[in-house]
């Protein structure tokens, strides 16, 4: 059975692996999947059609899978897929895709998203990517494996790194 803190809110339908840990005051939506070894520290919100890969650790106040910040988004069924062994630090935001884009935002494995990073709608992030504090991506960005995005950097939409 998953280790879910009694103050966490987990909506019916959420799929939480037995080896996952959901800390205090987390909110998990009904269409979320947390794989084995996922750890949500505290005050983490995971919503939408979001799948989080095994071994991923998410720190307080991260917002994962909330509706994208795109005026064309009208609630369509879109996805956020996060790979394995990622570290998502405090106040990071990762959004799902849009119907006018690929319909999915995808993050690879072994990535580090430091404090206040933002992965916008329809982004594709490779493996072993590091985004330093306050680095942000606009929509439809592709970042290949082993890229490092420096602190306070902004990546314009539709860019490939």
Active site residues: 121-122, 139
Strand order, beta sheet including 79-82: 15-16, 33-34, 49-52, 79-82, 104-107, 124-125, 142-143
- Four-point Cα dihedral 20, 86, 89, 92, nearest 10: -100
Q: Give 4's contacts (C-beta < 8 A, 6+ positions apart).
A: 10, 16, 22
């Amino acid at each position: 059975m998953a280790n879910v803190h009694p103050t966490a809110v987990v909506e019916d339908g959420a799929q939480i692996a037995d080896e996952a840990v959901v800390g205090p005051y987390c909110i998990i939506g009904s269409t979320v999947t947390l794989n084995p070894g996922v750890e949500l520290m505290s005050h983490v919100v995971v919503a939408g059609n979001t799948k989080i890969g095994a071994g991923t650790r998410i720190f307080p106040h991260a917002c994962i899978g909330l509706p994208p910040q795109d005026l064309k988004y009208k609630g369509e069924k879109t996805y956020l897929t996060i790979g394995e062994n990622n570290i998502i630090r405090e106040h990071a935001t990762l959004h799902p895709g849009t119907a006018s884009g690929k319909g999915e935002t995808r993050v690879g494995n072994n990535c580090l998203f430091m404090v206040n990073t933002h992965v916008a709608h329809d982004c594709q992030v490779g493996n072993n990517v590091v985004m330093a504090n306050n680095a942000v991506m606009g929509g439809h960005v592709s970042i290949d494996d082993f890229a490092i995005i420096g602190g306070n950097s902004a990546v314009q939409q539709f860019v490939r790194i």
